[in-house]
Amino acid sequence: MSFRDFVQGQSPQQAHYLQQREKENRLEAQFDSDELYLRMLRPVESRPIARQDLFQKWKAAQVAHFSREHEDWWKANFPRSVACYGPPFIGKIPNIDMLAASLGESPAGVVYSTSEAGFFFKDYIVNAYRPVSEGRLSALVKRIALEASGKDARSIGERILEIRELSEIVVSTAKIILEVESDFFKGHGAHCRYSAGRYIEPVEAPLCRVFLDEQIVQQDRSVLKLGDAYHRYYEFCSTRSLGALPKTLFRKTFNHETKSRYGVGIRNDLRSATGTMFQGWEGLEFASVGIGKN
């Protein structure tokens, strides 16, 4: 028994137990903090899970978490972002690039996919990436700023709270800073997604191909307008809580699928009954009036 343990009246076994208990308490406090950030991004309808089960999943996943034992809060929690883009403030001006990068280095591990036209965050509960709205990410930026305002030892002071007013700009910049490769969610070895209560495996068909399979059929003397096709596609994505491609990218991607499947490409010289020119596909039409035909 050490002198310190003797003075405190503890046996080595008691001292070991207390050390382990203190370590566990620190972990639980860290878990509560990290879970606060992730709860902000999860869909409201997410099925509640018992706290102890969440805690065990969190420990197993080794989620990146915020440190509170470093004199420089930003460098401790976002070392790669600071190293790459500099400190959160350059002089008195907020460093938007660094702040955008910090979303990717946060416990949420945010990424932006151009091919899926949206943001995603890694949720250890489902062990997959979930889609997240820009509004929720804006709230996360504000929460990070609030956390930092009372932790930075170098007294950036109340200026950190200015970040809260720039949250939408930070999120917009994150589309560039956190953009991932087109194969991030596609192909063997890519990342899995979880949306609308189901897993979307990386080897699944592209969404435009699924849309073509479920919503479009060949029909002689029919014409499918680009505007109508995109409107139906947008609703198709919304019902599945998935991000829709921008119209210009949809035109290119969907046209590739129609050529591959039916040998039909988009035309720019189609005319309506009133003589108005429009873009579209001849010989294609909607399979049904409703959305989500299976």
Domain limits, the chain: 3-200, 207-286
Low-confidence ranges of the chain (pLDDT < 50): 1-3, 5-7, 68-70, 153-155, 290-294
Using alpha carbons, list the distances in angstroms from residue 191 to 79, 235, 257, 285. 24, 25, 23, 34
Over its C-alpha atoms, the chain yields an Rg (Å, rounded) of 25
What is the value of pTM for the model shown? 0.61
pLDDT at 217: 94
pLDDT at 186: 80
> Tell me, what amino acid is at 241?
S
pLDDT at 76: 82
Residue entry with tokens 């639980």:
28
pLDDT at 198: 77
Using alpha carbons, list the distances in angstroms from residue 176 to 97, 128, 130, 246. 9, 22, 19, 16
Domain 207-286 bears CATH identifier 1.10.10.10:
yes
pLDDT at 174: 94
The sheet with strand 111-113 has its strands ordered as: 111-113, 118-123, 128-132, 193-195, 198-200
pLDDT at 228: 94
pLDDT at 92: 77
> Tell me, what amino acid is at 146?
L
Q: Burial code of 86-100, b = ≥16 C-beta within 10 A, e = fewer? A: eebbeeeebbbbbbb
